Amino acid sequence: MNVDVRHSPSFAVARVHLGANEQLKTESGAMMAMSAGVTVSASTGGVMAGLKRSFLGGESLFISTYTAPAKGGWIDVAHHLAGDIMVATISGGDALSITKGCWLASAAAITLDTKWGGFRNLFGGEGGFLVRATGNGEVVMACYGAIDQIELGPGETVTVDTGHVVAFEPTVQSNLRKVAGGMIQTLKTGEGFVFDFTGPGWVLTQSRNPQALEAWMKSIMPGETGGAGGGMLGNILGGR
């Protein structure tokens, strides 16, 4: 499996080249185009695993599996929001932590699960449960805006707003906290919760915040709560 990314950083598309009978797992609805002979099937990857990934991890309930013919083939995948794409390779006991909505595709040998990332999920969707990718192979991640990679040395720490986190390596330690003390300070600064990451390892961030986009769209759509407006907004931002 080889991945070529084009149209970065604003409207990235990943072309995944597969060998004979090789498989690719993708987020439901991520396929943009594919070569002749590639077949597709959909499953939850196990009912409970699918429910956890959907309701806790923020991904779709179903995963699409693409299988290349004997001569090989390719699949183009793209995110539902304008932004960049990053490819990471994991192996052995590595576990990549990916935030809500950023997993796009991965090799067939990669297993997806969910892990608890912090209590913010209870109050608005940031932080909360993360998608945990383990196994051997490539993982394709997408973001809203451009991707930045922050390299941390041993003991080095960086603070990132929860809505701007894409993923981080298993060697990186994370701690979720409020950026300002008390509700009044939170309202004054306009900031809520942040992750403190401590190296060694890398952290991927996105230059735009999907939750901020959602809040802005709600503010300019009268009658969004309930009715057709809310359904349309959910379809746009959820990519379903």
The confidence score (pLDDT) of residue 28 equals 87
Mean pLDDT across 201-219: 89
Reported as half-sphere exposure (CB side, CA atoms, 13 A), residue 105 has a value of 32
Domains in the chain and their CATH numbers? 2-146 (3.60.160.10)
Question: pTM value?
Answer: 0.77
| The two three-digit tokens of residue 178, written as one number | 């409020």
What is the Cα–Cα distance from 40 to 67, expressed in whole angstroms? Answer: 6
The model's pLDDT over 14-36, given as tens digits with 9 standing for 90+, comes to: 999 999 999 999 998 899 999 99
pLDDT for position 187: 40
Distance CA 94, CA 140 (A): 15
Distance CA 63, CA 44 (A): 6
Q: Using alpha carbons, list the distances in angstroms from residue 154 to 52, 87, 199, 200.
A: 33, 24, 5, 4
Q: At what angle do helices 210-219 and 227-238 cross, to 10 degrees?
A: 160
pLDDT tens sequence across 146-182? 999 999 999 999 999 988 999 999 899 988 888 765 5
Q: What pLDDT score does 82 carry?
A: 94
- Report the distance separating Cα 204 and Cα 149, nearest Å: 5
Q: Categorize the per-residue pLDDT at 58 as very low, low, confident or very high, splitting at 50, 70 and 90.
A: very low
Closest CA to 115 of 170, 35, 184, 44: 170
Instruction: Supply the pLDDT for residue 62.
Output: 77
Of 76-90, 113-127, 222-236, where does the model show the most confidence? 76-90
Cβ 117 vs Cβ 127: under 8 Å: yes
Q: Please tell me the number of Cα atoms within 13 Å of 14 on its side-chain side.
A: 29
- Is residue 55's pLDDT more than 70? no
More reliable by pLDDT, 238 or 186 = 238
Q: How many of the other CB atoms lie within 10 Å of CB of 48?
A: 9
